[in-house]
Amino acid sequence: MPADSYEKWYKKTPASDDVLNKFTYALAEFTDVQGKKFISNPGCYATATELALIPLLKAGVAEEDSIIVDAKSGLTGAGKALSESSHFVNVHDNYVTYKLNRHQHIPEIVQELQLFSKKLHHIQFSTSLLPVNRGIMATSYVKLKKPLSEAELYAIYKDAYKDKPFVRIQDDLPELHNVIGSNFTDIGFLYNDVTNVLTVVSVIDNLIKGAAGQAVQNLNLMNGWNETEGLLISPNYL
């Protein structure tokens, strides 16, 4: 993202333009990184959200500025630093919303989605902390430009991910347990023909597909190796 945007959202001094210009933002399913030397790995919320929404924007069926995303993360999404909000007694048996429309992944998400539709200017984005160790569930609400059948919607997603080994389109709404310990993204949806709103649910493991796993996936793609190399195992320790 631009240096001024980074400074605004992260409250940190960005790297110089000379350094930033060497990097390619690498959402593995949609970015050609073969031969690249430097990449920027997407954030965890960004990965789950972008993979859910890009097919709709690419197909031109979404009302771009209608998008609302309700994203929820397990505790490991906050990192290892000690804080009052991550203290066991505050997390256990609790559910907390934080950084409502102020999460630092918002400009990253908008920037990437705009590659698929210049008509998108903003999204409504809320983040919450789940009392679980790991995992992200992003629930997106999108008004469609016209009514679509379930078969048409499945075709849009199946076509977008037909040769993408780590994205699985589900017949039902996905659950966190199905992806924990893996590099998979599971996506399911439900269309409300009364409101003409499509609800899309995407789930990932924030520590793997949302972090180290996608980094390995990108490393494989950068070097022309098998995309799944080293990733079809379950290194689950939590």
Tokens encoding 223 = 């070097």
Looking at residue 95, what is its pLDDT? Answer: 87
Q: Name 185's bridge partners.
A: 167
- Residue 109 pLDDT greater than 70, yes or no: yes
pLDDT digits (tens, 9 = 90+) for 206-230: 999 999 999 999 999 999 999 999 9
Looking at residue 237, what is its pLDDT? Answer: 59
Tokens encoding 38 = 């430097």
Q: Would you give the end-to-end CA distance of the chain in angstroms?
A: 32
Q: Measured between alpha carbons, how far is 60 from 139 in angstroms, rounded to an integer?
A: 20
pLDDT band at 91 (very low <50, low <70, confident <90, very high): confident
123 lies in a domain? yes
180 lies in a domain? yes
Q: Name 192's bridge partners.
A: 197
Question: Which among 1, 44, 91, 160 is annotated as catalytic?
Answer: 44
13 lies in a domain? no
- Tell me the CATH number at 175: 3.30.360.10
Tokens encoding 152 = 């048409």
Mean pLDDT of the chain: 93
14 lies in a domain? no
**79 is annotated as an active-site residue:** no
Number of domains comprising the chain = 1
Looking at residue 102, what is its pLDDT? Answer: 87
- Residue 79 pLDDT greater than 90, yes or no: no
User: Is 67 in a helix, a strand, or coil?
Assistant: coil
For residue 87, what are the domain limits? Answer: 43-210
100 lies in a domain? yes
Q: Measured between alpha carbons, how far is 210 from 77 in angstroms, rounded to an integer?
A: 9
75 lies in a domain? yes
Note whether 127 and 144 are within 8 A (CB). Answer: no
- Residue 238 pLDDT greater than 60, yes or no: no
197 lies in a domain? yes
Beta-strand pair 124-129/96-98: antiparallel
117 lies in a domain? yes
